[in-house]
Structure 1
């Protein structure tokens, strides 16, 4: 009685052994070729690489010509949407037709990558294009990028101006100092957590509704004008100590009042038509230009901001000013405070202060406020005699 049971057990064991061997053979033949000692080409290996091992550029155009900058002599592997490959830092591929395609990049080691350029022309105060800065490059019709986290600790410059890209994630890009996204009109999201080295951020003519700068303490140059979004909010946190240029003009939908007390080094303050109100009180002695017209400021204080030797500009027309302090500002040579609510005493005081600086060849426009008294007119005449153009 026991013998048949043993035979049955042997048959079952044999069948189990066959199944296990078959499964093992299948698993082996479908595993990573590198682990099998395969002689597969680098291009074949690239096509089987995991998505998180690549940077993937999704393009919609008929060609793709990116430029990357690397240090040392890393291994570069591009695989383009048509199956062609390249190991160049500035490859060019012509697809022949417009279509959505995925183009992947692997650099070994990733630490060699310092710049990625898919569009740049130096617009809006950028560095002059060149091989030693950021090369001039027409936009590459990139609509999405994934896998950038591979270069997060190493990338120093990103340029994607004019591309139809919709979102960018630079969280934890600790070496990144320059972002160029001029006229990326589809860009609605940019993440900037833990970017301690970021100094220049160009987002002019994008579609950003929320911009968080609270973890960009080194920011010095912000270009964030003319967003196409319905609302525009900037979270500054404590950022601003290094800021010398800010341009957020033509954003009447902006819901943030700029924390100007956090900008002790500001040189260029461009915020016209920016939905700003209350008192504008700047304290930087580096100021050269204040362009803040078409807002709702009720008071402005620039006392001590324009020392002698400069030829500085304040353009603050079409606000609701009832007070304007330009004391201790002998470097102020252009003042347009027209179309405000300044009374006669204030108008007279402005003309008297400008006259007291004994400077030549300036410009002042106070039209659209109360008319000056005889005393104010006398000061205006003194200014005109020294080559000032006075409109009051």
Structure 2
């Protein structure tokens, strides 16, 4: 991220930018000395954003943590990680908190748990046969997803406590957590599939939000996972309950849910078998254009409103995936954005406490699922150019007009886009 990128954000009209701080970049050994170059980089980025009227929304951990801590004690599968994470957060609050008002402790802990410690398809790629989707060399898919998330929740709550006691009165910021959510739909009208859908929500959403709101895991999770899911002590439950100022949501797709009780009959089970459901994802994790189902995001926001007491919510990721090519005329992304932003408006009209919407993503980037083959960017990046030159796509022009309160008539946006593209190529 460079000054030219921040200027491009300002030109589009963005008033917020969400990014993560790399723990290994800032504190390479996980604890101890701070890397001065890393500190300088993030200070420069934050200052540049603010100078253009763009509010930074900062995430402390997005799948990555220092290799030194992974090597020393296994990272999130160890309780030691809680203390080291608090020390890292303390550095971030101290160094950047005078300018950063919105903090996410951990991005997608539910994906970190299931993907990083169950299937092995996300860092740190831990899993065990027969459950992993890759050839993991270490791990236990039956227990580690639950253990890792348990420690993440304790670390999150400890960081929130640190901020509230040491920094909030001076910095006046907010600390939350961000979860990945697909919208679950019963495969049929049967009682079994409807119950299974609630169970799927418990395992995906309730895994994180139930402890934060109610102080404990959903009853269905505790029943099906048994002793493999850790228990909160009374003090831990009190620490975790209420330990958030907002909830971040990342949503892209729907899932059809069918009851699958037979998975509970096997003696050795993982997180997915414990759910006792079959999931049909019309849009796979790998692939290209996503189905446009804006009512699904509205459903997610309504569910959080009704089940969890309508907490403040930021939609932190939502966007259309397309195949990487040199075309900047991404009409499907414009249609997706228009539909999903409309669904947020509907949710607001129905009383949702949604505070903001951030589309993924500003630039074409390397994606966890799909690499450089699939992209979500409003701006095209020419990866064959040594300078990685950026070009605003049609969606950037549409989004800019929307943010600036101008008409978003498709014809006018297209004319503006074509004129801009001609000027760039001449």
- TM-score interval, normalised by the smaller of the two chains: under 0.3
Identify, as 1 or 2, the structure richer in helix: 2
Higher-strand-fraction structure: 1
Radius of gyration: which is bigger?
Answer: 1
Relative contact order, higher structure (CA 8 A, sep 6+): 2
